[in-house]
Amino acid sequence: MTRTDDTEVPDYASLLRLDGRGFVVMGAGQGMGRQTAHALSALGARTLCIDKDPDLAREIAEEVDGVPMSVDVTVREDMEAVFAKAVGEFGKVDGVVDIVGLARWMDLIDIDDETWDFEFATCLRHAYLAMQLGARAMRETGGGAMAFVASISGLFSAPNHPAYGAAKAGLMSLVRTAAVEFGRWGIRVNAVAPGATATPRISALLTPETRAAHESLIPTGDLNKPADIAAALLFLVSPLSRNVTGHTLVVDGGITVRYAFQ
């Protein structure tokens, strides 16, 4: 203690530990999801690794000593089965991390109803189901933490992918509402909004020239790595962020705070 402060100093290192806690990881098979499964496992968590591709679910589960499961996360019955399995495997659900989402590139003037509906299912419906069903499981056992992957496309304009941006904006609104409603049960709900991230899918689309053009706009000079997003998600579901809820953490190398003509 000092002369003016005798408050207890936590063991900060231990506040990142997740030993024995059971997490549902949605979209675990590659990119941000795979890195998140590794991050959680490295800190002692047990993981239910969800992916629509059964081979990817099995492969990541083998990497992190988790439990694989392949479902359609936009279908209520499938998501009910996810949480039933998580309770059966772990005894309770301590956390949910949802990475699922995909952008289709199309101008607003040309977008069709199928694309609009696809984006809202792929970026928002599964999150609604995860929040609702996850909270029902958590409220019976003392609470927990949820973290969702949003996007800077939901914070600002989203040219050429308007439905994706609208759905991600809706996701961040839902996160805020869930944080207020679920707080009484000790459940925290947050999101991470990545900027451009070099996932396997995005990396395959980038040429050296387009990558360099993107990086020239980013103050740090680097695209996100999937591990950068996993690190932010890990913070938000760990006890280190015990009083953080209803927020979206932007991870973008500073691009959204850069003056346009700098």
Active site residues: 151, 164, 168
- At residue 157's C-alpha, the angle toward residues 155 and 160, to 5°, is 130
| Cβ(98)–Cβ(126) below 8 Å | yes
| DSSP category for residue 144 | E
Distance CA 221, CA 231 (A): 19
| Cβ(251)–Cβ(218) below 8 Å | no
**240 burial level (CB within 10 Å; 0-12, 13-18, 19+):** middle
Distance CA 15, CA 9 (A): 12
